[in-house]
Structure formats: structure tokens, C-alpha cells
Amino acid sequence: MTKGLFDLSGRVAAVVGGGSGIGEAVAHGLKDAGAAVAVLDINGDAAARVASAVGAAATSVDIRDRHAVAAAFDAIVAAQGALDIVVCTPSINVRKPVLQYADDEFDRVVAVNLKGSFNVLQAAGRIMTARKRGSIIIFSSIRSQVVEPGQSVYAMTKAGIVQLVRTGAAEFGPSGVRVNAVAPGVVETPLTAPIKANPDWYGAYAGKSALHRWAHADEMIGPTLFLASEAASYVTGSVLFVDGGWTAVDGRFTPPGM
């Protein structure tokens, strides 16, 4: 029975942002757990590449467009007969001090990270609440809790996702639909490549976690599969921090004798 808790055989999953990074890793993980996986990404070629590798369908979709998101999910239901799991990973960041932020930069980050996540939650929620089952997992970040200079709008959106997930859990729970968030720390992906290229910056981030290293994208698979599976049947409205202890450790100085 315990082994079956994580078995996703017969489930249909959609990974939004599945064309690269964490989304790509999660798509492979869901497939390995037995789910039929649809890969959605704004980059259609990237989605097709990953879909080919996991034996899945690919769709190009811009999550800022609520109608496109709804149509993509409806197409999955039409083709597969169900939509049991939705994972949403996309986000963007413009690192700038508050006093230097431009209107178009603010709008761009909010449109992808917050509006896009809302569109995914809404479209998935309509389908799942009607079917009385499902799991929605949206990626937040440690920046929902802790910040650094230059992270104002990004952190704001990631904190907003936490409240969005909690509200989704409250509204969809009576219909048997669970909504949770995964909050990673620093993860090696194409998005963070510029940081990795700066040894001081890369090392500072590595040193901040209790494990003194960055995460690999495939380390987000297990936490996501947990939330998607029956192992988390009583988990909803939660934020699962996968940050190597970043948010648990206060300060970088180790007192003498420790």
C-alpha cells in the first residue's frame, strides 16, 4: 500500500513551463511515476522536444492569455478524458532597485508570475472541481518569505502566489481538489545561468543554505510528485519549501566553538 501512494498510473498531468528547467525535470518525473504527461510552454519547440522525450503531447501556450490556457486544458481533457494534475512553473524576474523600476518591467513580471499563475489556477480549477478531484501545484519561491535588494516585484508576485494557492485550496477543497505550492531556493536552471557565471554570486548563494550548495532541477521532482500523489491526500493550502534549509538558517556567521 505504501508503494502505491506515489503511483500516478492512470493519471493525466499537465506541466506548464515544461519546456526547460524545473518544468522539464518534473515532466520526466511525472512520466516515470506513471502519469500521461502534456507539456505546455510558451516556447513551442522546447515543449515539443520535451514531449518527444517523455512520450507526451506538446502545446505552445502563453499563460498571460486566460483563454489560451483554458483552451489548452480543454484540449487535454478532450484527448485524454481527464486532467488530474496541473503543475505551473513559469516565472520571470527583472532585478532592479525599487527606485529604478519602470512601468513596463513591473507589468511584465506581474503578468507572467501572478496573472499567469491565476489563469492556470482558474482554468484547472474549473475542470477539476466539476470532476470532484485533482491536484494543482504552483511554484512560488523562498522570495515569498525572504528578500534581497533588487527582488521587489519578483518577491511580491511569489508572496502573492502563496495567498492565491491558499484561496484556491479554500474554494476548491469542498470539491475534492487540492492546491499547494512548492517554494524552491536557488536551483541550477537556464534562468539562473548568469548567476552561476559569477563565482562570487554563485558561492554566496551556495553558502546561504544549510547544505552549502545549489539545488539541481531534478531535486524538485520528489516534492512535486508528493503533492501530486495520494501520499499528500490530506495536504492542501500548503507551501512546501525545497530550499536546502535557506529559510531556516538565520545568518552566515558560525559562533566560535560551534
pTM of the model: 0.95
- Which residue has 511569489 as its cell numbers? 158
Q: How high does pLDDT run on average in the chain? A: 95
* Residue keyed to cell 492569455: 65
CA 64 to chain CA mean position, Å: 16
Contact of 17 with 23, CB cutoff 8 Å? yes
The residue type found at 107 is: D
Average of pLDDT values for 206-228? 96
Pick from 94, 92, 134: nearest CA to 114: 92
Taking the C-alpha atoms of residue 88 and residue 112, their distance in angstroms, rounded to an integer, is 11
Signed CA dihedral, 31, 119, 242, 175: sign only: negative
Maximum Cα–Cα distance across the chain:
63
250 falls in which pLDDT band (50, 70, 90)? confident
Taking the CB of residue 10, how many other CB atoms lie within 10 A of it?
10
Q: Is 202 a catalytic residue?
A: no
- For 234, residues 6+ apart whose C-beta sits below 8 A from its C-beta are none
> Is the pLDDT score of 1 beyond 60?
no
Give the pLDDT confidence of 21-43 residue by residue, as tens digits: 999 999 999 999 999 999 999 99
Strands (E), 54-107: 57-60, 85-88
**Phi, psi of 163, deg, nearest 5:** -70, -35
The full set of domains in the chain, from first to last, is 8-242 (3.40.50.720)
* Backbone phi, psi, residue 242, to 5°: -120, 75
Q: Do residues 22 and 139 touch, judged by C-beta distance below 8 A?
A: yes
Q: Which of 101, 154, 202, 234 is catalytic?
A: 154
pLDDT in tens, 219-234: 999 999 999 999 999 9
With H, G, I as helix, E, B as strand and everything else as coil, classify residue 20. Answer: coil
Q: Which cell numbers hold the place of 158?
A: 511569489
Instruction: Give the length of the chain.
Output: 258
Of the candidates 16, 161, 157, the one whose C-alpha atom is nearest the C-alpha of residue 87 is: 16
The rounded Cα 53 to chain-centroid distance in angstroms is 20
pLDDT tens sequence across 91-121:
999 999 999 999 999 999 999 999 999 999 9
